[in-house]
Amino acid sequence: MFQFNKSLMSFHEAMHATRRKQSTILRQVWYVVAAVARLVTLLIQRNYIVFEGKKENLTGCKSEIRKHVHYSYSLSKGTSRAIDAEVLQKWGLPLKLPRVPKIKDCKWDPPAAGIIKINADGTSQGNPRPAGYGSEYRNSECVVLQVLCRNLGVTTSYVAEDMGIIESVEVALSKRWNRLWIESDSGDAVMVFGTSELPWEVRPQWERCKSRLHHVVVSSACVKSTLPLIKLQGIILA
């Protein structure tokens, strides 16, 4: 039923028979058949025969294994492929197709002449967990000037967003780009740049950057319009 080209001579071969040939969800189903369902069902049948004197019941064995397979398949989060259809049909299992990707429109606005636009994004695998950020620099002609990414070690996603913005500004200043438009997808990160509520780890870096910038706009890509928050030393934070 699993379309193997050869007989399986040992339990080890059975457990690894689908490692490369089948989809993830079929491998999960096979592990149930080869390990849990088969062994448990045979053990129960053996006890019936030895201790209760009953006759072997192969139909009951097959029914029990099929029940375990259906239960395992219903709990699996994996998805099947078109080539799995024949195997799944033999087990009476439906295809589990992956979700259709959502296509969303997005609009990228170029900066004015003489201004460099930075799109920065930071993230982490948990709070706190391994984190990092990436950023891209473009001019008014939409030409990519630089792409930056860095591993931040273990921190929170909020700090990663802030670090992504600040370190991207530091790199821009090292190239004498001091008129910047910084865009982030984190509304919370954007808001704190107009206040004194930045995390203590990044506050000194941002203060040093501000003193060297001639013009900077910090905005959120998730908000259609941004309101001015504060004007300080010719720096517009929005």
The arithmetic mean of pLDDT across residues 50-65, rounded, is 78
How does the average pLDDT of the chain come out, rounded? 78
**CATH class, range 116-237:** alpha beta
Flag the least confident range among 77-86, 129-138, 175-184. 77-86
Own/partner pairs, 204-210, CB within 8 angstroms, 24+ separation: 205/166, 205/167, 205/170, 206/166, 206/169, 209/166, 209/169, 209/170, 209/173, 210/235
Whether pLDDT at 142 is above 70: yes
Which has the higher per-residue pLDDT, 9 or 235? 9
pLDDT on residue 139: 96
Report the pLDDT averaged over residues 86-115.
Answer: 84
Section 73-93 average pLDDT? 79
With both helix axes pointing from N to C terminus, report the angle between 58-75 and 38-52 in degrees, rounded to the nearest 10. 150
Domain boundaries, given as residue ranges, for the chain: 11-91, 116-237
Q: What is the pLDDT of residues 23-33, one digit of tens each?
A: 777 777 776 66
- Name the pLDDT band for 102 (thresholds 50, 70, 90): confident
For the entire predicted model, the pTM comes to: 0.56
